[in-house]
Amino acid sequence: MKYTQENGNIILKDYDSFIISQTLECGQCFNFNKLGEEDYIVTAHKKALHIYQSGDAIVFEDTSINEFETIWLNYFDLNRDYNEIKKLLADEDEILKGAVEYAPGIRIINQEFFQCLISFIISQNNRIPMIKKVVYNISKKYGEYIRTVNGEDYYSFPEPKRLFGLDGEEYKDCKAGFRGKYIADAVTKYVTDELEIESFKSLSTEELRKRLISINGVGPKVADCVMLFSLKRSDAFPTDVWVKRIMSYFYFGGQDTPIKKIHEFADEKFGDYSGFAQQYLFNYARQFKIGTDK
DNA sequence: ATCCAGGCCCGAT
DNA sequence: ATCGGGCATGGA
């Protein structure tokens, strides 16, 4: 991987495993807008990044070396060798090989913790387009205006303090539905430091999971997503309906298997690579509707 | 129209 | 401990 600055843009070349559409649209994040083929706006870190493919390069528009190195390099996990991960998983079995080859351009994004937490609280019993809308509505109502691109306004995700004290009902304007009270509890626990975020790094994944589940509206699945997508816990294995289906289908003879058994299996088989395996499998299962009657 | 969505809470066993 | 109904909202 190498990157240079040209005309105010960062040009990324000689990278491995990075297809913008696959990384953004594999279900791990909701803070993006598609402008065209391999052409997106991503809102994070109070910025609206225009990122697109140009030949064999990826362009981070209007970005300095400093901004690239302090924000986007880590955000898109560009220091990690995904060829190594993909090879390891593909060698595991034919199923993973297929899942990896189907979307070889997925990278696990390192999202901002607060936005990720709220996003996945919203995700429960919801659909991805709707999750994106609610995240956008909250940003528009409580965040700060960043800029307009192609007639579309972009807003930063609000600071926790900005949301502190809001009643759960307030989020109904943003179409959060019954999840408003959950958002309110997450905000309260964040701002009052009930979560003790500073201590996260010293906790085991299991301990951290329990801490996150103390939030009303955060269960095992949401906690695992938050740990994987914003706290670099690649040993987490978020198991939603799709992952449950594909795991049952391929590894348990088609028998509907309890999540606890699936977790034990994933721990043993994937270990610290569980999160990566999960994302390839989730994407694969969802695209082909594996385990459903369709 | 009825069903369901990257689940979780809560009350009943 | 485990199970099932209910839940806001909107698209199929």
A146 in the same domain as A37: no
Is A293 domain-assigned? no
Nucleotides of B under 7 A from a protein CB: 5-10
Q: Extract the tokens encoding A180.
A: 């408003």
Long-range contacts of A203-209 (CB under 8 A, 24+ apart): A205/A233, A205/A235, A205/A236, A208/A233, A209/A236
The CATH number linked to A181 is: 1.10.340.30
Counting every residue written for chain A, the total comes to 294
CB-CB contact of A44 with A31 (8 Å): yes
A147 in the same domain as A190: yes
| pLDDT attached to residue A293 | 75
pTM over 0.75: yes
Using DSSP's 3-state secondary structure scheme, residue A31 falls into coil
Is A294 domain-assigned? no
- Structural domain for A34, as ranges: 2-79
Interval A15-59: pLDDT, tens: 999 999 999 999 999 999 999 999 999 999 999 999 999 999 999
Interval A187-227: pLDDT, tens: 999 999 999 999 999 999 999 999 999 999 999 999 999 99
The CATH number linked to A269 is: 1.10.1670
Is A269 domain-assigned? yes
A249 in the same domain as A226: no
Is A103 domain-assigned? no
Q: Which of A33, A63, A79 is the last residue of a domain?
A: A79
Cβ neighbours around A235 below 10 Å, total: 19
Is A148 domain-assigned? yes
A223 in the same domain as A247: no
| Residue A172, CB, strand C, below 7 Å | yes
Task: Tell me which residues of chain A have a pLDDT lower than 70.
Answer: 294
CB-CB contact of A279 with A106 (8 Å): yes
| pLDDT attached to residue A294 | 63
> Which of A43, A45, A105 is closest to A78 using CA atoms?
A105
For chain A, give the mean pLDDT: 97
Using DSSP's 3-state secondary structure scheme, residue A5 falls into strand
The residue lying closest to nucleotide C2, measuring its CA against C1', is A258
A205 in the same domain as A182: yes
| pLDDT attached to residue A292 | 85
CA–C1' distance A4–B6 (Å)? 36
| pLDDT attached to residue A162 | 98
| Residue A278, CB, strand B, below 7 Å | yes
| Residue A109, CB, strand B, below 7 Å | no
CA–C1' distance A91–C7 (Å)? 43
| pLDDT attached to residue A64 | 98
Alpha helices in chain A (DSSP H): 20-25, 65-67, 73-75, 82-90, 94-102, 113-123, 128-142, 160-163, 180-191, 205-213, 220-230, 241-251, 259-270, 274-288
Nucleotide showing the shortest C1' distance to residue A175 CA = C9
A260 in the same domain as A210: no
A259 in the same domain as A224: no
A151 in the same domain as A75: no
Nucleotide showing the shortest C1' distance to residue A223 CA = B7
Domain count, chain A: 3
| pLDDT attached to residue A285 | 96
